[in-house]
Structure 1
Amino acid sequence: MAAREYAVSGRTKDSPVIWFPREVEEAWEQKRTRGENASFIAGGTVIQMQREQGVPCPSHLISLENINEMNGIVRMDSYLRIGALNSLEDVRKSHEVQQYFPCLAEAVRNIAAPAVRNRGTIGGNLMYGKGDTVPALLVLDASVSYFYAGSPHTLPVLDFLENKVDGLVTAFWIPYPINENRRSFSFYNKVGRRESFSLSVVNAAGRMELGEDGRVQKAALAAGGGNIPAQCLEEVENRLCGSHLSLETLQELYSLMLDTFTPPSDDFFSAAYKQKTAANLILSQLYSNAERNGGKEKDG
């Protein structure tokens, strides 16, 4: 079925034409045909914000709202599949997300106001490039499916971002914990200028799996926010693995964070401030969980 044009009553020459494709392939062809004169639109929160900032609206908007395959939150074997068109509030309220991936639910809870979460989509949050969900998706080993150049593809979220893929995001895939009985915890935290109603200054997420002896078996840490491309903190993760969450380890991690997390400065905050803030966010969470898990003994 061909894409349907939506003609706005009283439309002026500067108003965009809105198209409503019903399939991913059709949406991609619409964008390929019109190039820079067209943009995909889902919740529309980013385009609305850009218009308020004086950025011209494209002459063609390709609405994705009628593409059923881009919706739904469902368990598929060992993965939770989240359609890119699901609203942020859909993700936050999902029982599966709350039970198995609480750091993602917490990340969404910290995004903007309820009205924005009801309209904004998780796919749009990734494509925005400054989305608060990205660190949580990274530590959860999430992958993203997207349509590009006539065919579907899937990449880890980190590779998708680093390669700056210009594709149509269709879904996210998050692996369920392999051993649900293993001692584990996750967290997400954010520092912003006005709580959740502004871009983050810094946000951070983490996920830990502990062995029977209390040592860290697996660690995943990421930080980003604002104008900071989300970063996986691999050197800090490597230092954690095999260690107890002891005060000695945490003190060492603080110095390592300052050396390896490399955010840019901006008009409001220096790089050094962001480094210290990220280190404090992560280490305060590790310390709190070490208290609950009795893991603050010295490494031996």
Structure 2
Amino acid sequence: MKVAIFRYQGAQYTGVVQGDQVHAVAASFDELLAAAAPDPLGLTVPLAEVQLLPPVASSCRGVLCVGINYVEHQRESADAFEKTVPTDPIVFFKTPAALAGAYDPLPLDPGISTEFDWEVELGVVIGKAGRGIPRESAGDHVFGYTIVNDITARDAQKRHSQWHLGKNVEGCTPIGPWVVTVDELGYPPVLDLSLTVNGVRKQEANTRDMVFDIADQISIISRYVTLLPGDVLATGTPSGVGFTRRPPEFLRAGDVVETTIEEIGALRNTIAVPAGAALVGQAGAR
């Protein structure tokens, strides 16, 4: 089942996506997480006529993100971050305010950063609460999977001792387009993921290449934090990010970023400059 949250004619719905249509259901996303049946409301709409919103529960506290979780990404970024492959996960947090829809324009204000970068990641949606979850039962806590583009303001990330500000520019982290439930994709999923900028391939990998797999992440994070239904884990990005390229490449107004994970779908976001923002010259991503 593909579960989406969408806006149609001014109203917000939860729905089930089938082909190029979405069928509104009576249950909310939160209720579906609690195993409510997706009973139809009687409203079926072409996907082309709706706005897809971030597919997160109203109870979602944010996104728990794992950094430097692919070996090749560690190697390419060693001069800036970790000199060796991490022995424990690097975990940071994105607030719900950072999230954007699957096809929303991204308001990357050059007054905030001239070094906005891309990061394709598999998102894991928690469906069952737990603390101190054993690795062998981690899959029991997974509701489904989605796509995250962990847009990062690299200059802010470097300037501040913590990563939080560079990872939390408001409305700049697209997620979606929907959540594919675990019964469809299995556990753990083995999926190809990729990202293009203006049609040029920048990232390509497979989730099997993670340093800390989904079970590791759920088990380790839940030692410290009770995971709740609706929480999202962003499981790390592979190599190919912009700041490690020579010369570095960053996103600029008009760029189109497509973030794809097989069996889930794709995000497609155009970089926009907020009204009133002053354009600043940037290294092109083309």
Q: Give the structure-2-normalised TM-score.
A: 0.25
More helix per residue: 1
Relative contact order (alpha carbons < 8 A, sep ≥ 6): 1 or 2 greater?
2
Rg comparison, structure with higher value: 1
More strand per residue: 2
Q: Give the structure-1-normalised TM-score.
A: 0.24
